[in-house]
Amino acid sequence: MSDAAGVGPEGAAPTGDAARAARVAGAVARFTPEERERVLALRRALHAAPELSWQEHTTQRTLRAALEAAGITEIREVAGTGLVATIPGTDPAAPVIALRGDIDALPIAEETGLPFASVHPGVMHACGHDMHAAWTVAAGILLAKAPAAGTVRLVLQPAEEVGEGAARVLASGVLDGVHAIFGGHVDWRFPVGEVVATDGAIAASTDTFDVVFHGRGGHGARPQDARDPIVALAAFVMEVQTLVSRRLDPGLPGVVSVTVADAGSAANVIPERARVAGTIRATTRAARTLLCDGVRAVAESVAALHGVRAVCTLSEGTPPLLNTPTAAACARTAVREVLGASALTALPTANMGGEDFAFYTERMPGCFLRIGTLGEGRSAAGAHTPRFDPEETALFVGGAVLAACARVATAAGTSLATGVSR
Ligand code: NI
């Protein structure tokens, strides 16, 4: 899911570019040429055969083979089309850490023209989950060669795009006893070698509303005999804007977008009903509650004002994704170790996209990173577009950083456990 707000990064000075290239080369060098070949081949195999949420059967087989090739033997299915692989640590007393990569694709027809472009018509890895899956396996390659203190579980999670996979993984119990979880998303706005690992909100909640105004239909010439649901709809569309502008703290990001408005079929007929639907985004739990409650209150108030009845359905999506400060601190230590302190950056504005990793961080400390994938001379097509084409060097940055997250977090042990913030 998800893509952050579209603010492009400024081009860095040449010296910065050269320094960054050297740091990226260092991350790449953590893998042998043969390992790099395998990770690249894995990503391209996944990219060529993308599968939609809950249909990741070939993906699951491809990933299992890649994990086995890395010498990882403890692999089991989770959530139907996902996998969880366990890499035992060197110290049985050290905390257990999970690394998560999502694996599903989107219903988009690919237009990149890449030699390994999708062979499945109308389906594309346009959100980079092929990169996420491959860099999670890449982290597994490094950890299998040189295990961390604590045991590491690699979670290859299905159905992120529909916001359902993480909850299924949690329900399966495979993460019981895990002390912290890390994952990342490709980010085309940052060059390869830059990483976001900040405390707090990194993605928004994604609830939806559906309101049907039930009135009384009639002749368009005789409104006095009808109860017009379209006037209520129009009032709702305007009034609901005041939730963000007048009710929400101006310092907090929030969105209420009406994306569906549907009523009527003839110029001289007042219809029986009118329907609106849309999305509600927030980055704190309190703001989420305020906006969701507000949408319902506005619907009921405008219905009462216009003498119609509102039936308001709110559907819970993913919660706001809040990085736990203790886990985010581990992630920043890992980034500094792999890429140097100058690799750390921050989102220019709040990301109002959603991400089902949020379900994990509601249950345990965790950090979700955004990992730069903008390459030299590459098109900056955003995620969820038919020309999305992340720079593949980011596979090794992602793999090395996630492996380092596991090492740092297993060494951090007790400070993680005491740092749970809810
Ligand atoms: Ni995504």
Q: Indicate if 236 and 368 belong to the same structural domain.
A: no
User: Is pLDDT above 60 for 294?
Assistant: yes
Question: Ligand 1 mean position to 108 CA, how many Å?
Answer: 13
Q: Indicate if 109 and 230 belong to the same structural domain.
A: no
Question: Ligand 1 mean position to 382 CA, how many Å?
Answer: 11
User: Is pLDDT above 60 for 420?
Assistant: no
Q: Indicate if 198 and 214 belong to the same structural domain.
A: no
Residues with CB under 5 A from ligand 1 (ion): 2, 127
- Strands 200-203, 366-374: parallel, antiparallel or unpaired by DSSP? unpaired
Question: Ligand 1 mean position to 147 CA, how many Å?
Answer: 28
Let me know if residue 422 belongs to a domain. Answer: no
Residue type for 63, please? L
Query: What letters, b where the CB count within 10 A reaches 16 and e where it falls short, cover 368-406?
Result: bbbbbbbbeeeeebbbbbeebbbbbbbbbbbbbbbbbbb
- In the three-class reduction of DSSP (H, G, I as helix; E, B as strand; rest coil), residue 293 is classed as helix
Indicate the pLDDT class of residue 133, thresholds 50, 70 and 90.
very high
Q: Which domain holds residue 132?
A: 3-204+320-417
Give the domain-ending residue among 292, 315, 338: 315
Q: Indicate if 40 and 69 belong to the same structural domain.
A: yes
Let me know if residue 306 belongs to a domain. Answer: yes
Average per-residue pLDDT for the chain? 94
Domains contained in the chain, number = 2
Question: Ligand 1 mean position to 160 CA, how many Å?
Answer: 7
Question: Ligand 1 mean position to 355 CA, how many Å?
Answer: 7
Mean predicted confidence (pLDDT) in 206-229: 98
Question: Ligand 1 mean position to 267 CA, how many Å?
Answer: 43
Question: Ligand 1 mean position to 352 CA, how many Å?
Answer: 13
Q: Indicate if 227 and 309 belong to the same structural domain.
A: yes
Question: Ligand 1 mean position to 210 CA, how many Å?
Answer: 25
- Quote the DSSP letter at residue 391: -
Q: Indicate if 29 and 118 belong to the same structural domain.
A: yes
pLDDT score recorded for residue 414:
53
Helix (H) or strand (E) holding 18: helix 14-28
Q: Indicate if 27 and 129 belong to the same structural domain.
A: yes
Let me know if residue 81 belongs to a domain. Answer: yes
Place of tokens 């893509």: 3
Q: Indicate if 330 and 264 belong to the same structural domain.
A: no
Give the domain-ending residue among 315, 339, 361: 315
User: Is pLDDT above 90 for 55?
Assistant: yes
Give the domain-ending residue among 284, 315, 346: 315
Mean predicted confidence (pLDDT) in 153-180: 97
Q: Indicate if 253 and 388 belong to the same structural domain.
A: no
72 Cβ contact list (under 8 Å, min separation 6): 85, 86, 87, 140, 144, 154
User: 384-402, pLDDT tens digit by residue?
Assistant: 999 999 999 999 999 999 9
Question: Ligand 1 mean position to 193 CA, how many Å?
Answer: 19
Helix (H) or strand (E) holding 288: helix 285-305
Cα(50)–Cα(45) distance, integer angstroms: 9
Q: Indicate if 261 and 409 belong to the same structural domain.
A: no
Which CATH number does the domain housing residue 345 bear?
A: 3.40.630.10
Indicate the pLDDT class of residue 4, thresholds 50, 70 and 90.
very low
